[in-house]
């Protein structure tokens, strides 16, 4: 059985009980019954109310014990003080799932949170799942299942369709579904998770991913509370090639609760979820219209792996606008092949045959020109996606003839993504959608939606990433290790630091320096001196043997003067790296997603420009290289403006090893900062110049 099948009694039940059932179809306990009666829910519907024999024309039962069978799901719409007994009764009766409308729990205060925890514990003991509490419930129009008290159906029933909605917010989930309905977009199933005492939005995504009646998943989330469920759900959706469009708002609890190490504070709280969404090809929508645009376009199930856009029009004008948007998004709009252009120009001398392709007003005289032009685009241009910008033409008298010509091409080449930017009344829109077009009034939004399909295609087709490197078991010390200890731990995992040697005498220091090559860095070596530079305990640019000797003595003098009782073990001699690009590699433990790796360029780039990238640990060098190449400052590493190329392979290897190290180090690892790391020119490797590891106590 799949991981998420346990939610089926909750999301697609055969029988429903309503505790706190009301005869008034406008009250919270009356609405689900009224809705399911109005829409002819095919399963059993059991009102439970000790005071009535009949409710809304149905036989009512005095208690859960009196029900003729244990229902798949029970809606709980009783006051908070009656909830504990109700949960106990339902659990004992073997009910599999509960939709709990009742509020007054974790959203209220600490006492409410404790009460919620007790309920969930009781339910779990009985193997019963709970949606909520304090939730607006769930409905599926195709099953006529309405375990919700949303008043949104006052203005119309949902449009059946293949989009599933999972929302943490009831108000926003309803808002979204209503917008969809008003646009004629089929979003029949909508689940709203409320307090998420038990069932999470991640699990609901997973169930939708496995549900053959759903092709596209739309998600509204404010904070992810549980990682394994969400990650499994995203994996299931990607494996099933089901696109997920997600609006993620708010300061995530993840980052929010995180101990604010240097690495965490750079990015802000949102970066972790963003990284997880990117990892699984989830499209992040900026607003509800973008969410619906993209979800709706995705229901065509055409996800080009290598997307290209061809635009056809009969009036010119929006070509510049469309090209601008496509360029901004990185969606290629290649020109038509020269021979095809020549053929079109023979037909219509003043046409625009490149791309956008403009068949001109000549189509008024010969409407078959539309077919000829579009056929050439699809066949000769080979575009994966075709956008027709016809705007007002779709209200003109000649439109039915144009539409017919366009449809001939669509039928001949059904594997392409066909989108129209037209202004038509709803009936006209529905006709075109029935033809197989996706209709977006606004050409900008059309291009964004087309581009999103290519992103889904690329994510679905991406090869499985390489395995993360295997690193030996890491045994963390009881407290934060010193720099040298940290470097030793990392070295065992193949993470190299600049060559360095602890030297007890000046002679040994000179020998080490000569081995490394000049210049070198000297640092005082003492377990009692943590902040070396504050006492002048670090010397840079030490250029020859004499200077090493002099520096050795100077550091010992300074140390004794500053911390007379310090145990002095000597001096650390390290090769001074020149000519490398300064980077920062880091790890920070997220309370939900565990260790997250960070990469950025050193100094200003991270601190001022926030030019960093994150990824869950562990991952292989291919993912690491993609991360490195994704930051804005990447040209600095890739040889911009005549600079030498940095050793990106070695950098990716180090980042990947660091991610494996972070997992091997276990839960006590809080953070790692390798800052700076010097990425040397190609073939010369990368070296951490400093390493800080933070741990929690044993």
Interface with its own copies (CB under 8 A)? 26, 108, 150-152, 154-155, 169-172, 174-175, 178-179, 182, 222, 247, 249-250, 286-289, 313, 315-318, 320-321, 323-324, 350, 389, 391-393, 395-397, 423, 425, 441-442, 444-445, 604-605, 607-609, 611, 632-633, 635-636, 640-641
H or E stretch at 75 = strand 73-76
Least distance between its own copies and beta carbon 682 (Å): 19
Q: For residues 634 and 643, give the distance between their C-alpha atoms in angstroms, rounded to a whole number.
A: 12
Rounded to a whole number of angstroms, the minimum distance from the CB of residue 261 to its own copies is 16
User: Cβ 306 to its own copies, closest distance in Å?
Assistant: 26
Provide the minimum distance between the beta carbon of 383 and its own copies in the complex, in angstroms, as a whole number.
Answer: 21
Min separation Cβ 421 and its own copies, Å: 9
Q: How far is the CB of 578 from its own copies (least distance, A)?
A: 15
Residue 118 burial (CB count, 10 A): 14
For the bound state, the minimum distance from the C-beta of residue 37 to its own copies, rounded and expressed in Å, comes to 19
Residue showing tokens 């053929």: 343
Min dist CB 532 to its own copies, Å, is 18
Q: What is the sign, positive or negative, of the torsion defined by CA atoms of 146, 151, 157, 163?
A: negative
Q: Which residues does 624 contact at the CB level (< 8 Å), separation at least 6?
A: 599, 615, 651, 652, 653, 655, 656, 659
Q: Residue 462 CB, nearest distance to its own copies (Å)?
A: 27
Tokens of 57: 């024309």
Cβ burial of 522 (10 Å; 0-12, 13-18, 19+) is buried
For residue 4, give both structure tokens. Answer: 């998420």
Whether residue 618 has a cis bond before it, omega within 30° of 0: yes
Cβ closest to its own copies, residue 4 vs residue 389: 389
Rounded-to-integer distance, Cα 346 and Cα 354, Å? 14
Q: Which residues of 312-342 are buried (b: 16+ CB within 10 A; e: fewer)?
A: bbbbeebbeebbebbeebebebeebeeebbe
Give every CB contact of residue 358 below 8 A, 6+ residues apart in sequence.
312, 313, 314, 315, 316, 319, 351, 352
Asked whether the bond before 117 is cis by omega within 30 degrees of 0, the reply is no
Query: What gap in Å lies between CA 213 and CA 608, rounded to an integer?
Result: 47
Which of residues 318 and 548 has its CB atom nearest to its own copies in the complex?
Answer: 318
Residue for token digits 């003080």? 81
Strand 520-525 and strand 538-542: pairing? antiparallel
Instruction: Report the residue number, 207 or 389, with the smaller CB distance to its own copies.
Output: 389
**Closer residue to its own copies in complex, CB, 178/675:** 178
Strands 357-358 and 309-313: parallel
Q: How far is the CB of 110 from its own copies (least distance, A)?
A: 14
Scanning the structure block, which residue is given the tokens 């939900």? 592
| Ramachandran area for residue 316 (φ above 0: left; ψ -120 to 50: alpha; else beta) | left
Of 235 and 360, the one with the shorter C-beta distance to its own copies is 360
Q: How far are the Cα atoms of 150, 275, 304, 600, 628 from residue 464, in angstroms, in the given order?
A: 42, 17, 18, 25, 19
Q: Which is nearer to its own copies, 15 or 195 (CB)?
A: 195
Q: How far apart are CA 168 and CA 194, in angstroms?
A: 6
Considering the complex, what minimum distance in angstroms separates the CB of residue 442 from its own copies?
6
Cβ proximity to its own copies: between 17 and 221 the closer is 221
Distance CA 218, CA 208 (A): 10
**Alpha-carbon distances of 157 from 41, 45, 92, 168, 188, rounded to whole Å:** 14, 20, 35, 22, 9
Give me the least distance between CB of 457 and its own copies, in Å please. 24
Q: How far is the CB of 284 from its own copies (least distance, A)?
A: 12
Residue 517 Cβ, how far from its own copies at the closest point, in Å?
A: 22
Q: CA separation (Å) from 359 to 323, 353, 408, 446, 565?
A: 17, 8, 17, 20, 88
């Amino acid at each position: 059985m799949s991981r998420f099948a346990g939610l089926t009694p909750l999301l697609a039940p055969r029988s429903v009980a309503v505790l706190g059932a009301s005869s008034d179809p406008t009250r919270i306990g009356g609405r689900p019954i009224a809705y399911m009666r109005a829409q002819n829910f095919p399963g059993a519907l059991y009102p439970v109310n000790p005071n009535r024999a009949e409710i809304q024309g149905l036989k009512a039962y005095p208690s859960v014990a009196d029900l003729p069978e244990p229902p798949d799901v029970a809606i709980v719409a009783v006051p908070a003080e009656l909830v504990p007994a109700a949960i106990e009764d339902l659990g004992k009766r073997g009910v599999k799932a509960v939709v709990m409308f009742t509020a007054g729990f974790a959203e209220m205060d600490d006492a409410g949170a404790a009460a919620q925890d007790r309920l969930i514990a009781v339910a779990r003991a009985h193997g019963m799942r709970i949606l909520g509490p304090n939730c607006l419930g769930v409905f599926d129009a195709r099953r006529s299942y309405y375990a919700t008290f949303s008043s949104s159906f006052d203005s119309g029933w949902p449009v059946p369709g293949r989009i599933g909605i999972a929302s943490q917010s009831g108000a926003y989930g309803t808002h979204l579904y209503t917008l969809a309905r008003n646009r004629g977009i089929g979003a029949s199933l909508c689940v709203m998770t409320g307090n998420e005492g038990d069932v999470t939005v991640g699990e609901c995504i997973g169930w939708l991913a496995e549900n053959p009646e759903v092709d596209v998943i739309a998600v509204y989330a404010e904070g992810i509370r549980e990682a394994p469920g969400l990650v499994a759900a995203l994996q299931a959706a990607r494996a099933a090639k089901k696109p997920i469009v997600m609006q993620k708002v708010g300061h995530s609890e993840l980052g929010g609760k995180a101990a604010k190490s240097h690495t965490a504070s750079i990015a802000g709280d949102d970066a972790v979820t963003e990284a997880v969404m990117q990892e699984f090809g989830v499209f992040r929508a900026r607003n509800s219209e973008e969410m619906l645009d993209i979800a709706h376009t995705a229901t065509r199930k055409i996800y080009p792996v290598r997307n290209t856009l061809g635009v056809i029009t009969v009036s010119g004008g929006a070509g510049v606008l469309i090209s601008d948007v496509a360029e901004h998004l990185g969606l290629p709009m290649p020109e038509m092949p020269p021979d095809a252009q020549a053929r079109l120009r023979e037909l219509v001398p003043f046409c625009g045959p490149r791309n956008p392709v403009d068949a001109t007003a000549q189509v008024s005289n010969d409407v078959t020109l539309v077919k000829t032009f579009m056929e050439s685009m699809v066949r000769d241009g080979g575009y994966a996606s075709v956008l027709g910008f016809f705007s007002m033409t779709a209200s003109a008298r000649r439109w039915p003839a144009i539409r017919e010509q366009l449809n001939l091409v669509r039928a001949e080449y059904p594997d392409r993504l066909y989108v129209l930017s037209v202004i038509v009344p709803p009936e006209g829109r529905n006709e075109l959608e029935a033809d197989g077009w996706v209709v977006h009034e606004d050409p900008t939004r059309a291009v964004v939606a087309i581009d999103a399909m290519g992103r889904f295609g690329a994510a679905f087709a991406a090869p499985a990433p390489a395995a993360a490197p295997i690193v030996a078991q890491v045994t963390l010390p009881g407290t934060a290790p010193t720099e040298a200890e940290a470097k030793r731990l990392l070295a065992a995992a193949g993470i190299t630091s600049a060559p360095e040697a602890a030297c007890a005498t000046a002679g040994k220091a000179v020998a080490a320096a000569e081995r490394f090559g000049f210049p070198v860095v000297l640092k005082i070596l003492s377990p009692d001196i943590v902040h070396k530079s504050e006492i002048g305990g670090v010397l840079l640019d030490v250029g020859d043997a004499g200077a090493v000797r002099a520096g050795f003595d100077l550091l010992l003098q300074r140390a004794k003067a500053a911390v007379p009782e310090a145990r002095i073990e000597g001096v650390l001699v390290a090769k001074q790296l020149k000519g490398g690009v300064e980077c920062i590699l880091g790890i920070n433990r997220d309370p939900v997603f565990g260790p997250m790796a960070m990469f950025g360029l050193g100094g200003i780039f991270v601190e001022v420009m926030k030019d960093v990238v994150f990824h869950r640990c562990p991952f292989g060098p291919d993912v690491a290289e993609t991360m490195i190449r994704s930051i804005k400052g990447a040209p600095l590493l890739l040889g911009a403006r005549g600079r030498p190329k940095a050793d990106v392979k070695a950098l990716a290897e180090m980042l990947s090893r660091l991610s494996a190290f972070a997992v091997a180090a276990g839960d006590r690892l809080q953070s790692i900062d390798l800052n700076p790391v010097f990425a040397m020119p190609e073939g010369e490797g990368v070296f951490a110049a400093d390493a800080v590891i933070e741990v929690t106590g044993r």
